[in-house]
Amino acid sequence: MSTTTSSPQGRGTRSRPVPTSTKPKVEPLYYLFLFPAVVLFTLAVSLPAVLGFFYSFTNSIGFGDWEFVGLRNFIALFQDPGTVSAYSFTLLFALTTVIVVNAVAFLLALGLTSRIRFQTALRAVFVMPMVISGIIIAFVFQFLFNNTLPGIGQALGIDALSSSILVNEDLAWLAIVFVTAWNTIPTTMLIYIAGLVTIPAEVYEAGAIDGATGVQQLWRITLPLVSGYIVINTILGFKNYLNAYDIIVGLTDGGPGTATRSVAMAIIDGFEYGDYGFQMANAFVFFVISIIIAVVQLRITRGRAAF
């Protein structure tokens, strides 16, 4: 019995499949739609950012001639008491507001997802502040703080309410926290509601069968299951509060003195008064600090994303 041997040309043997690329082919139409967005983003965001970083090393006033000054703007930045005060206020304000807003919004979300009457109507009422402009809210509360509350305090003989909190250097920032929280709690609350309604009722039923009290269910079931939404609200809130501007302008305009002057206000005011190069350095440092805070937050909360 003879055996068949394969020839050098590979006859009589099974041919190996030729590997093919699994990378999907990108349709040219996609690039056509992507191109306008890339151009607009470059012209509106990337190019101004690069130019701003360039001018942070100059003595430019925003127009006309300029000269390179190296790191002089950055050195002066950390030696300027007004700038250091603005950073201190902004960080304190952002941290306090994040805590207040998330605590109140979470409690409201718990209430509005429980079995209470007029649940839908109450949700509509609580989200109304989010549709009103921040500057309008600030002007309304400025009138209340400067006129209505002092009038009530004088009529009732309450010294603590007889003068406006906005003229007190030590307490004016609390008014800004209160108004900002009033304006942003609805958005944060809606995110928490979205998280709470995803928790199956069977989980709470199982906890109740095991003898868990309401507080224990809150700590052992609710908070762990909505931790991702807490991360989202914390990161988004801190980012927004670091850029606080309109409510502060409407309430105190940075006063009394410079006690409530935020970094964003300092940068914009500097542009108006010809401090272009210096404030560009300020904006770049503020950008780096914001990025560092965001990275630290993501590191701490890694693995707890909601999605």
Give the tens place of pLDDT for each residue, 37-91: 999 989 988 898 899 899 999 998 888 888 999 899 999 998 999 999 999 999 9
Q: pLDDT exceeding 90 applies to what percent of the chain?
A: 40
Single pTM value for the model? 0.81
If we measure between CA atoms, which residue out of 164, 158, 168 comes closest to residue 146? 164
**Higher local confidence (pLDDT), 231 or 24:** 231
pLDDT band at residue 306, thresholds of 50, 70 and 90? very low
If we measure between CA atoms, which residue out of 304, 110, 112 comes closest to residue 222? 110
- Average of per-residue pLDDT across 163-174: 91
Give me the pLDDT at residue 54, please: 93
CA 202, CA 110: separation in Å to the nearest integer?
17
Give me the pLDDT at residue 252, please: 92
**Domain 72-300 in CATH 1.10.3720.10:** yes
Give me the pLDDT at residue 214, please: 81
Q: What is the mean pLDDT of the chain?
A: 85
pLDDT band at residue 280, thresholds of 50, 70 and 90? very high
Give the domain ranges of the chain.
Answer: 72-300
Spatial neighbors of 210 by CB under 8 A, at least 6 apart, are: none
pLDDT band at residue 20, thresholds of 50, 70 and 90? low
> Is residue 52 within 8 Å of 267, Cβ to Cβ?
no
- Average of per-residue pLDDT across 266-294: 89
Give me the pLDDT at residue 13, please: 52
CA 163, CA 75: separation in Å to the nearest integer?
40
- The residue assigned the tokens 């401090």 is 275
**Higher local confidence (pLDDT), 172 or 274:** 172
